[in-house]
Structure 1
Amino acid sequence: MHKITSYLMLDEQAKQLVDHVHGTEIGLTFSETAVLVLLLSSPNAIFTKEDLLQVGWPERVVAPTSLTQCISTLRKKLEPYTEVQLKTVARRGYQLHVSEQSHVKMLAINDADAIRDAIVGVSVWTKVAGIIMLGLLLTFVWYWSDHHAVVKHVAKWNADKYISLNIGGTLGTAQVLYIDEEEHLHPSWWQKHLAPEGNHINGLPYFSAFASTDGQNYSMAICPALDAKDCTGKGIINITSIDAKPAGLSMAEFIPLSKKMEERIRYNRVVLPVDDKGVGELLEHNYHADIYFPVAGELLVRTDLSMSLVYQGQNRGKFYSTSCITDQDCLTTPIKYTIRGEFEQYQTQIDDLNVDVFHVKVAQKELTKPDEVSHSAMQFYRAIRKHDIRDEDLFYYRVYQNKDTAVWIVPQMGQLLAWTQYTQVKL
């Protein structure tokens, strides 16, 4: 037996994958088994096509397409296990990467070996002890299921790359969060949406930034502070491109336009007294952001986003979120979408980045339908309608926080990145 993860094994003799969580077996061919055994012999090592052809088809001469088909089939069979990634390394070969998820800090049994040892031990216990142990085991397995969902969701993300950005004529660096196997990570996938001839802002000598992509959207979250820890929340810029065609957004025109849009229509932001000494038994943690979506030839669309957390325990509580979408000419009457639910908070890491994951179980959704939707905002309305119909579990990622701001990945229109203003209100 070859151990792939704590619950997934490769039985080389029987030529099958054994899933101890779901009690399932997935059959493999001789070539698939041999190739996977070699890849497992040195995880993260890059094996050439010649190495894999030699073990998968010994003493035979086959076309390179045989290996390509074998890899494709293996990926489909490993697809349910997102922490196991069979990667193609351009012009070099293939690599097997298994994400380490043991750093998620929640109480749960997630080691199949420990579970198996416990089951073996039951046979020597008395009947009463066996019943008690079985009851505890079933309880832990039930609890583990939510934890496992979070682990699998986190395993999709990476944060090991940085890109250079030119914002308003100022050069800076952004840490990138991206989903596995996303190949389009060149800075141009973000930069091409800013028009170079209009990409100049006075009074922006430096900035801090994060960037993200889910393979469809490309987000930039920018704060005019040399170090992220010094970001006060003033002058934050959140831009997400939802179309591969260059948007040609002029930063010189965007800054005054965004201020005009935010001053003209405000739904979610609440300006609190600076010296508020409110008292109350509940503390609301509120996060607010304005996110802009430039598309070539279309009106600029804005999402006014607010999220609130009210803790009712160490790592759990009530979650509330409201999104209001309008366009620059006010042709779209507000598309307002509200989510209420309960969250469990998990502390984890994505590469070297400390992250808080909020698993939100949706209890109530409310969509206020607009009277009119412009062509520019129509795809946003369709996406929110899909959310309204089908989403029951959502995952929010808080990837950075200081005393005044926080950076979030939000499950809206795919996965959006937003640098938010942070306030506390005593209720």
Structure 2
Amino acid sequence: MVKLSKYLSIDLESRELLDESNHSRSPLSLAELEIIKLLAQRIGDVVSKEELNEAGWPGRLVAPSSLTQCISTLRRKLESQNDIELKNIPRYGYSLCVIESDELVLPKSVPQSEGGNASPAVNHLSRYWRWLAVVLFFVFLAGLHFSGKLKQTVNYLALLAQPGVASILNAETELAGQKVKLSQLRLEDQPDEHRSASHFIGSWSNTDKVFGNELLTRIFANDNNRYESVALCNQYEGECKDTQPLNLVRDRNTYSPLDLQWLSDTKLRMEQVTYNKILLDKFENPSQGLVEDIYRADVYYYGASKNVVRADVRLSLVYQSPARGTLVMAACITDDLLRHVSMRYQFSGEFKMQQKTVDGQLVKSFLLDTENVSFTSPDAISEESATIYREIRKSVLSNETQILRQIYQDANSGVWMLPLWGDTMVWAHRVEVTL
């Protein structure tokens, strides 16, 4: 029996969590048992993900999502315990924190008297340092508040806890008789499953009338559990030669065959009008010599009907240092049924950029503390437009922060995961402007 708190224990023999306050028991899997045992041995310490993986699945190589799902299950089994919290330490690991009302659990290095209880002098000293730490913590928070940085700090910590790109799996297939390289992205909070290339492009027809050149077709794809998105460059030779890459989104729960010839004709008609433009002087008083990266793309959502929704997207970044700067994203949404602007969505703010290599691909994450958000609701809306309306509305109401990821960049284009239909893959045309 391993004691966690006043009422909660781990019953090692029956492999259960025992709550003595109501005599309830929660069964544990083998992995959950070993992980909570390790965390209990090091209460208050941060235990790395590598150590937890080795404890839960010794000698086995498992996906990052296995640990995430195991921790999530443990949290549900601990949620009735007000004095225990399983904390996530972003980018490192987890910590089991226990708050006891009657006495302070001392680290093993603190001398203890016979019978395992700390001496009164040690207890008194511990309480003193505990209260001093609390006072200093609130002084620190007050300083952040009055300096105006408290909200910014909280938002930044929340962004750090967002899931990153867990894997980029590459596969080769054919489309209209030409070679295709498909890179499938998976985030840390998405299921550890690999879908075939035909899952994303197998329902397309009349591909030979749209595609047909000797250059490689390059595709980035993602299934975010609600929507499947594909970003496609039809002419790829070390960099994207396609002046208008194809970006498609569909509801993953609706089987929607797509006639590429019909879509091509529809795109041509809808793109006669450009509704969206970010002015180069959007940023006030830029310092001389700054460089602005401007990305433009059209993203199309299609379903079972003959109505498509177009998001005319602009993204503008100004770097003020190698890892910091200012960002604006704007999208104007139309559909072929109503044929006018139904929604306008824009947000901007300062970003901090982090980068890492995932499966040989450089991934940049832009952690954005949004300062200005505008969303113009539609006067009329079609069933298809309602899908993106709900996504944007939810984002406007709940998010003071955003995370945008760049998966690929060359001189004339870039591939992004943008907050449209969830995390949507977008291959955008790129222009660099010196201010």
Structure 2 length-normalised TM: 0.65
Q: Which residue matches 1:364?
A: 372
CA 1:181–1:380: 2 relative to 1, 3 Å: closer
Distance (whole Å) between structure 2 residues aligned to residue 78 and residue 407 of structure 1: 40
Q: Which residue matches 1:353?
A: 361
CA 1:424–1:72: 2 relative to 1, 3 Å: closer
Residues 18-59 of structure 1: per-residue CA shift (max 9 Å, x gap): xxxxxxx99655323864465744565577xxxxxxxxxxxx
Moved more, 242-251 or 404-413: 242-251
Q: 1:202-213 to 2 correspondence within 5 Å?
A: 202-205=211-214, 206-213=216-223
Distance (whole Å) between structure 2 residues aligned to residue 374 and residue 163 of structure 1: 36
Q: 1:190 is matched with which residue: 200, 209, 212?
A: 200
Q: Which residue matches 1:54?
A: none
Q: Which residue matches 1:407?
A: 415
Residues 40-79 of structure 1: per-residue CA shift (max 9 Å, x gap): 44565577xxxxxxxxxxxxxxxxxxxxxx9984374599
| Structure of greater Rg | 2
- Pairwise CA distance, 1:370: 3.0
- Pairwise CA distance, 1:407: 0.7
Q: 1:164-183 to 2 correspondence within 5 Å?
A: 164-179=172-187, 180-182=189-191
Q: Which residue matches 1:267?
A: 275
The answer on 1:287 being equivalent to 2:276 is no
Contact 1:269–1:306 under 8 Å retained in 2: yes
Structure 2 spans left out of the alignment, 5+ residues? 16-27, 36-51, 61-69, 80-84, 97-106, 111-124, 145-149, 281-286
Q: 1:27-426 to 2 correspondence within 5 Å?
A: 28=10, 30=12, 31=15, 32=28, 35-36=31-32, 38=34, 40=52, 41=54, 45=58, 73-74=73-74, 76=76, 101=91, 149-155=158-164, 157-179=165-187, 180-182=189-191, 185-187=194-196, 188-195=198-205, 200-205=209-214, 206-227=216-237, 229-262=238-271, 264-268=272-276, 280-426=288-434
Q: Which has the higher strand share?
A: 2
Structure 1 length-normalised TM: 0.66
CA 1:181–1:389: 2 relative to 1, 3 Å: closer
Instruction: Supply the AA of the counterpart residue of 1:366.
Output: S
Residues 144-164 of structure 1: per-residue CA shift (max 9 Å, x gap): 866654443244x32242344
Residues 69-96 of structure 1: per-residue CA shift (max 9 Å, x gap): x998437459998989xxxxxxxxxxxx
- Pairwise CA distance, 1:210: 1.1
Distance (whole Å) between structure 2 residues aligned to residue 198 and residue 34 of structure 1: 50
Instruction: Supply the AA of the counterpart residue of 2:262.
Output: E
The number of residue pairs the alignment matches comes to: 349
Distance (whole Å) between structure 2 residues aligned to residue 204 and residue 215 of structure 1: 33
- Pairwise CA distance, 1:268: 2.8
Instruction: Supply the AA of the counterpart residue of 1:426.
Output: T
Moved more, 345-354 or 360-369: 345-354
- Pairwise CA distance, 1:225: 3.0
Moved more, 240-249 or 159-168: 159-168
Contact 1:175–1:210 under 8 Å retained in 2: yes
Contact 1:322–1:336 under 8 Å retained in 2: yes
Instruction: Supply the AA of the counterpart residue of 1:190.
Output: F
Identity, % of aligned positions: 23
Structure 1 spans left out of the alignment, 5+ residues? 1-11, 17-24, 48-69, 85-99, 103-109, 273-278
Contact 2:337–2:382 under 8 Å retained in 1: no
